[in-house]
Amino acid sequence: MVRQIGKLIQFLSGDFEGALEPESGRRGVDTERLRKLIPVAREYAPQLREYGTLLVARLTEKNLSRGLNWASQRLASSSSRTFAVTPRPASVA
């Protein structure tokens, strides 16, 4: 997801060509279709940047929330376990 957010930021900041570089497995036809939309993206760049900022902020919030939920569940499950203490054998001196 970090890579995708990076591409979105790159695109919304105006680096259209860099953001449209094909990744492995991507077809050139899709990239060519997207290149035709560059003039429209330039025209609406301020609105797209505002939307992109809100989108990235919300995605970041969701990821942070999921991470905190995961960590709290892991912490709760590890603290609920009871560990049996086994006596150590007496050392022979």
| DSSP state for residue 14 in the 8-state scheme | T
Under the banding of pLDDT at 50, 70 and 90, the label for residue 81 is low
Share in percent of the chain as helix, strand, coil (round to 5): 70, 0, 30
The token pair at 66 is 């999921």
pLDDT recorded at residue 87? 61
| DSSP state for residue 93 in the 8-state scheme | -
- Calculate the average pLDDT of the chain: 77
pLDDT recorded at residue 16? 72
pLDDT tens-digit readout, 63-74: 999 999 999 999
Under the banding of pLDDT at 50, 70 and 90, the label for residue 33 is confident
Are the CB atoms for 34 and 20 separated by under 8 Å?
yes
Give the distance, in angstroms, between the CA of residue 23 and the centroid of all CA atoms in the same chain: 17
Are the CB atoms for 13 and 53 separated by under 8 Å?
no
Under the banding of pLDDT at 50, 70 and 90, the label for residue 9 is confident
